[in-house]
Amino acid sequence: MKEYELIIIGAGPAGLSAALNASYLKMNFLVFEANVPGGIPASTYPWKHVDNYLGFKNLTGREAAKKMIEHAESEGVKIKKERVTEIKKYRNKLKVVTNKNMYLTSSVILAAGSGEACRRLGIKGEDLPQVKYVLTEPKKYKDKKVLVVGGGDTALEYAATLKKAKSDVTIVHRKNDFRATRENKEKVVKSKIEVLWNTEVKEILGKKNVEKVRLFNNKTNAEQLLDADYAFMCLGVVPNTDFLKKTGLKLDKSNNVVVDSNLMTGVKGVFAAGDVTGKLRRIPEAIGEGALATFSAFKYIKNPYWA
């Protein structure tokens, strides 16, 4: 087995920040990414402008991700496309198992992001091709009747963006208030998007395509059928932590990784950064945590004089 000082799992903002700092510290390290390098900005919000990170004004998610990847690669960071399936103790080291190989390391940083599996309702019709979980090309839905299901920031951002792209948008939310930022709430109000409060999706109808959606009001139990061409399910994601449950890591009730002030988990040598910890879930937080996790891992391994 090849041996490293540090293995970073994930190449989103947190993982790339961790890798950049590992390069700065001249560590012998490796980065794994099972999906799209760049993380959520590249895969989920490629069209959205990144406006909350200093120096990234007017860049889209795709452009910001590209900039981060290019910066990391210019400093010698190499990203391997492998999926980590297990982390286990091996003597005084850690063994990282992927879908292709096994590696030995002194430390690990978990930066796998908020999740790659979107939450589902488990209802009839949810597998139809017009039921979507990620919005990548808003203009594709021009003049289409689109249902957006959910009440968080993602749902509101999708709805406002689709409305701007001239879609006929309706938001369906099971509660009577949104759990979103003031900015996103204001966008929905200004866009005059129809909102069906206290409403849930019972069934999606159609043989090969989405045709109608059966809804019910959870206060009155009244049902209605709504015409639709597409449905976006914005119900959150399942954290990328399933493979960690057998390692002894402590997870909170939402399956986020629990860390201390140095971002170390309950397993010595294993650190976590970014969305996987379930904190702010914003690019600035992820980048800061990625850097801190690398310095914490370096101190754990080397015990430098300045630690």
Which of 57-71, 112-126, 220-234 is predicted least confidently?
Answer: 112-126
Strand pairing of 199-205 and 84-90? Answer: unpaired
Number of residues that this document lists for the chain:
307
Residue 116 pLDDT greater than 70, yes or no: no
Per-residue pLDDT at 265: 95
| pTM of structure | 0.85
The arithmetic mean of pLDDT across residues 276-302, rounded, is 94
The first and second tokens of residue 12, run together, are 């989103």
Residue range 230-250, pLDDT digits in tens? 999 999 877 667 777 778 889
Mean pLDDT of the chain: 93
Residue 118 pLDDT greater than 70, yes or no: yes
Residue range 14-41, pLDDT digits in tens? 999 999 999 999 999 999 999 889 998 9
The arithmetic mean of pLDDT across residues 167-183, rounded, is 96
- Give me the amino acid identity at 212: K
Q: How does residue 115 score in pLDDT terms, banded at 50, 70 and 90?
A: low
Q: How far apart are CA 32 and CA 104, in angstroms?
A: 14
**Buried-state track 169-180, b at ≥16 Cβ within 10 A, e below 16:** bbbbbbeeebeb
- Give me the amino acid identity at 46: P
